[in-house]
């Protein structure tokens, strides 16, 4: 029921709830029950291309 809200809490705190143990693990390196591992790149969104076109000093976030 709170879909979309918990994700931003995980990004902000860099912690994710472990569904198996109930503890809170570090976000980077955590493997969820779907066998997907969170990486540093998952903490950031890509910078939109139009913003990068306007400002040549911008550098795209790692992984995008």
Domain that holds residue 34: 6-54
d(CA 53, CA 26): 35
For 17-38, give the DSSP string: E-TTT--EEESTT-B-TTS-B-
Alpha-carbon distance of 9 to 3, in angstroms, equals: 11
Q: Considering the domain boundaries, does residue 1 fall inside one?
A: no
Q: Domain count for the chain, please give it.
A: 1
Tens digits of per-residue pLDDT, 2-55?
567 888 889 899 999 888 898 999 999 999 888 989 998 889 999 999 999 999
Task: Answer whether residue 61 is part of any domain.
Answer: no
Q: Does residue 59 sit within a domain? A: no
Q: Residue 4 in 3-state DSSP?
A: coil
Query: Residue 60 domain-assigned?
Result: no
pTM above 0.85, yes or no: no
Whether 64 is covered by a domain: the verdict is no
């Amino acid at each position: 029921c709170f879909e979309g809200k918990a994700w931003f809490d995980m990004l902000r705190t860099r912690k994710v709830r472990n569904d198996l143990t109930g503890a809170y693990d570090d976000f980077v390196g955590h493997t969820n029950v779907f066998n997907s591992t969170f990486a540093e790149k998952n903490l950031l969104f890509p910078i939109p291309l139009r913003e990068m076109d306007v400002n040549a000093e911008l550098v795209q976030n790692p992984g995008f």
